[in-house]
Structure formats: structure tokens, C-alpha cells
Structure 1
Amino acid sequence: MRAINQLVRFGWEQTLSCLFPVAIFASLALTQIVPLPFLPRYDLLLIIFLLMQWWMVRSGLETRDELKVITLFHLIGLALEIFKVHMGSWSYPEEGYFKIFEVPLYSGFMYASVASYLCQAWRRLNVELVRWPPFFVVVPLAAAIYLNFFTHHYWIDIRYWLAGLVIIVFWQSWVTYEVDGTRYRMPLALSFVLIGLFIWIAENIATFFGAWEYPNQTDAWSIVHLGKVSSWVLLVIVSFLIVATLKLVKGKIHQD
């Protein structure tokens, strides 16, 4: 019973940490089902997500520092979306006033929701890092993974080389977290894979409700290729490395 209770508590904390992503899915579903007579769907989604972000900060569910991190991820994600849409990887076929180079501004919030989850889970589960690699290793690795999303269109795709490098760099790294006063630990690389798999499942839900559209989903919706899990795992790694680095830098500042 102790193990079951801990699992339930852990699941509850994870659910609370996913509040922003859940709001995104609910909004996608609602706007897909209910006709919208006044505004294009993409623009209404942007308004909903902005209000949701404002409410989370105003209510104390997110701090101002976390808002800064989430805003950074919004910009990083929007830049990636603009490039990928330009390369034909996926598209946003619906009309909208608030679009940049055929990409609606709300799309950045889907990346920001990953950062929101990481920040929330970090705080709620009192996450700590064990044997975290040096700063001069982590930053170039995160930059290389992010840049590969762009460069593989013009050069070879080195994602699997980068994934191997991640395993080497984080081989002895662990993440510890607390549930009801008891601490647990997990290999950091395993946490990357689990979060990436969860996001792939979420991606299938998002495309089903028309958040964006892959070329093979133009005529009818189909499951997103399982190979996309690797892309999401790498994106999770970038997200986690940025959040962790900022947390550690802020911790050192506080200690000083």
C-alpha cells in the first residue's frame, strides 16, 4: 500500500506540473469542436494561452523567474517552427492574423509548455542533480543538439551521434526527487527518454486536434511516425539542460 500511495502522489504531482500542457490540449479540442464566428482559430488559441500564462503567474503557480525561462523557450521554439515550416516538415494550413512566415504565434507555447512542466516538476518534486557534468560540456552539447535540427536539412543528420554523446556525458548522472518526504533517484538519461516518449504521445493528440499538420496527415489523420520520439528526446535534453543550467547558476548566485 505504501508503494501504491507513493505512486498516486507522484502521479498527482506530475498532473499538477502538466497544468499548462493540459490547458493547451483542452483548448485545441474545444476550438476544433466548437465553431468560432469572430476570430480565426489560431488567433483565439494565442489569446487563450496568453491568458493562461498570465493567470499562472498571477495565481503564484509560476514564478517570474520561471516565466523568463518559458519565454526563452517560446522564442527558441518559434524560431524552430519557422524554419521547419519553411522546409516543408509540417504546416499550419488554417488562416490567422497573428502568423509569422506562415507560423502562428501560438505555436511557441507548445514548446514553452515543456519548459513549464520542467519548472513545475522541478519545484514540486524538489529535484536535485547528482554528478552534473561541467558547464563547459553541457552548453556546447545543448547548442549542438539544437543546431542539428536546422543543419541536418543541408548536411548529415548527427542526432544518433549526439544521442551517444549524451549517454557518455550523463552516464554517471542521476536525478533525485522527493515524494511525500521520501527521496528516489533515476538515471538522467532514462528520464530524458520517458519525457520524450510522453511528448510523442502528446504530439499525436495535438495533431489529431489540428495543432499542426504533417505531410502524411493532409488527407486524413494518422499516427505520428515513431521515429519522431528521437527528435523529442533530443529536444527534451536541450530543454532540461537549459533549465538545469539556469537553476544551478541561480543557486550559485544565491549561495554567494
Structure 2
Amino acid sequence: MTEPASLFSLGMTRFAKVRRDLEAVVVQGRIASGCYEFLLFGFKQGWACLFGGLMLALLLGTHFFYPADLPLHRYDFLTLAAVGIQALMLLLRLETLREAWVICTFHVVGTVMELFKTAAGSWIYPEASLLHIGPVPMFSGFMYAAVGSYIARIWRIFDFRFTGYPPRWTTILLAVAIYVNFFAHHWLPDLRLGLFAFAIFLFRRTTIWFTPFRRARAMPLLVGFFLVALFIWFGENIGTFANAWTYPDQKDGWHLVSIGKLGSWYLLMIISFVLVSLIHAAAPREAGIKPVSA
């Protein structure tokens, strides 16, 4: 697999070197090859989720073990820890500068949404903090950044290519409309059903190609959006369980986040994907070989 030229300009990351060696392994036999590809797929997915996984581990760890009498608030510790993780990943060359830029962009976009949604009472942050903007602790932006980080990293790691990708201006229009609706539906009619229909229409023929090992595999992009949104919903349940934030209907005790939130995460996934397509690559590349179905 050929790395983008921009990655070479930064120097190969440690993971890129490990991936190169793993992909060079020769595996004999159909079953053995399939098992190896599955394990390599899981390894690459885990690496792409590194930042998000560490953040979720911090949320759970501090929920159970953070001393209540420390002068440093738990939320402030989470903010400093997130910044430290980013610095360490760059220092150890576990992340590229482009991926760090994606994280910063998502932090800003997410914080703006957080400020509005908390003011509207959609959710609250129940604990105190010093590092905050209004009622929003600074660590919250890193939760959105974790989504952007995952998409940017997985895009490169699996060498994403596409068939039937719609014109970029239409995807930008959809992403902007979704983002505006997240705010406007508090005063105007909620257009999310129409946005779902628009997304299905735009991406109905789009196939994403990804390469876990040596053969290109294919999946409808809309299915990919759903699978990632589902795992984000799982992560949101971990976050609310860890009291990182809570919804109004959880004030009397924790319970699973409404499955209806999955639709919101699906739409947020589309925003994230389009934004990464603008930052991470000049344009989604058209696949040039016939894929093997996943």
C-alpha cells in the first residue's frame, strides 16, 4: 500500500512502520490468510481508535478512582490529560501533524455546539471545573475530536477509495444543513427526516473501498456511517455512566441513552466525514480496481 506523499513529508509514523511489516507477512492457506486479515483489521481499527479509546478509559478511570479531595477538579484533569496525550502521540510519532490538525478543528466545531446545546438544556456537565468556557469544560471538545481523529486515521490506514461518490459541493451542502439544523430545530421545525432522506439520496450509490490486508474490500458508505455511529452511541453510554455529562432524563439515575440519539450521531458522522474529506485529502479518490465484497 502506498502512503500519501504528505505522510512522507512528515516522516513515517511508528505505526506506519509496524503496518508495513505486518502487511509484508506471507500467510499460506485460505483459512489462515482470512484469520490473519481479520486480526490485522482489528489491530488497525484499534490503532485508529487510540485517542478515543484512551479518552473513554480516562472517563471511566477517573469516575471510579479520582480522589474527590484533590484541589485539581476531575474535569480539569481530563482536559490536561487529553492535551498531554496529544503531545505525547506527536512526540513519539504515533500521530501525524495532519491528524493533530483534524483534532484541533473538531475541538472548535464541537465546543461551539456544546455551548449552544448546554445553554438550551439538552445536557449538562454536573461537576465543577476551572478550565471551561461558560458551562462547558474544555475536555468536552476532545470527545468530538476523538471522532475526527478516528476518521482521519482510518482513512489513511485503510487507504479509503470510493465509487459513486457525489459531487463535493453537495456533500458540503448536506453537512452545513445538518450542522445548522442541530441549532435551528430549537426554534424551527426539525428537518432531520429530510436530512436523512437527502443523505440516502446522495450516498445511495457510494461504495467505500478499504484494504485490511492485500485485497480491497467494499461496503456501502451508508452502512459504514451507521456502524461507526453505533459505536459512538456505545461510547456515549460509557461517558454518561462515568458522569462526564448527563441528559435531563438521567438526573434520577443513570440508564442507557435513548436509541433515538443514534440518529443524531448518524448525522454527526456525516458532518465529521465531510469535514475530514476537506482536511485530510484533496478529494475522495475513485477506486480503480474491482473490490472484493466484505
TM interval, short-chain normalised: over 0.9
Secondary structure of 1:249's counterpart equals coil
- Match for residue 61 of structure 2 among 26, 30, 35: 30
Matched letter for residue 43 of structure 2: W
Secondary structure, in 3 states, of the residue corresponding to 1:91? coil
Contact 1:167-1:189 at 8 Å conserved across structures: yes
Instruction: Map 1:1-256 onto structure 2 (within 5 A).
Output: 1=31, 2-34=33-65, 35-36=67-68, 37-249=70-282
Deviation at residue 164 of structure 1 after TM alignment: 0.8
Q: CA deviation at 1:69?
A: 1.5
Amino acid at match of 1:40: H
| TM-score, length basis structure 1 | 0.94
For structure 1, the residue ranges without an aligned partner over 5 or more in a row are: none
Aligned amino acid, residue 53 of structure 2: V
Give the Å deviation of 1:7.
2.0
Q: Per-residue displacement from partner, 1:21-48 (whole Å, max 9, x unpaired)?
A: 1111111111112215130010000000
Deviation at 1:176, TM superposition (A): 0.5
1:131 deviates by: 2.4
Superposed CA deviations along residues 36-95 of structure 1, whole A, max 9, x for unmatched, are 513001000000000001111222222112211211110000010110100000000111
Separation in 2, partners of 1:127, 1:59: 25
Question: Does the 8 Å CA contact 1:135/1:245 hold for their aligned counterparts?
Answer: no
AA at the equivalent of 1:141: L
The structure with the largest helix share of the pair is 1
1:132 alignment partner, SS class: coil
Identity of aligned residues (%): 39
Q: How far apart are 1:180 and its partner, in Å?
A: 1.3
The offset of 1:250, in angstroms, is 6.8
Cα displacement (A) at 1:236: 0.5
Offset from partner CA, 1:127-149 (integer Å, 9 cap, x none): 11222211221111110011110
**Following TM superposition, where does structure 1 have runs of at least 4 consecutive aligned residues deviating by more than 6 angstroms?**
none
Contact 1:152 1:158 in 2 (8 A): yes
SS at match of 1:126: coil
Distance 1:187 1:193 in 2: 10
- Number of residue pairs the alignment of both structures matches: 252
1:176–1:184 contact (8 Å) kept in structure 2: yes
Q: Which has the larger radius of gyration?
A: 2
Give yes or no for contact 2:277–2:283 (8 Å, CA) kept in 1: no
Partner of 1:12, secondary structure, is helix
Structure 2 unaligned segments of length 5 or more: list them. Answer: 1-30, 286-294
Compared CA separation, residues 59 and 212, structure 1 to 2 (3 A):
same
Task: Find the residue that maps to 2:210 and give its secondary structure.
Answer: strand
Q: What secondary structure is seen at the aligned counterpart in 2 of 1:39?
A: coil
User: Match of 1:206, SS?
Assistant: helix
1:71 partner letter: C
SS in 2 for 1:154: coil
Shift of 1:251: 8.2
User: Under a length normalisation based on structure 2, what TM-score does the superposition of the two structures give?
Assistant: 0.83
Q: Secondary structure at 1:179's aligned position in 2? A: coil
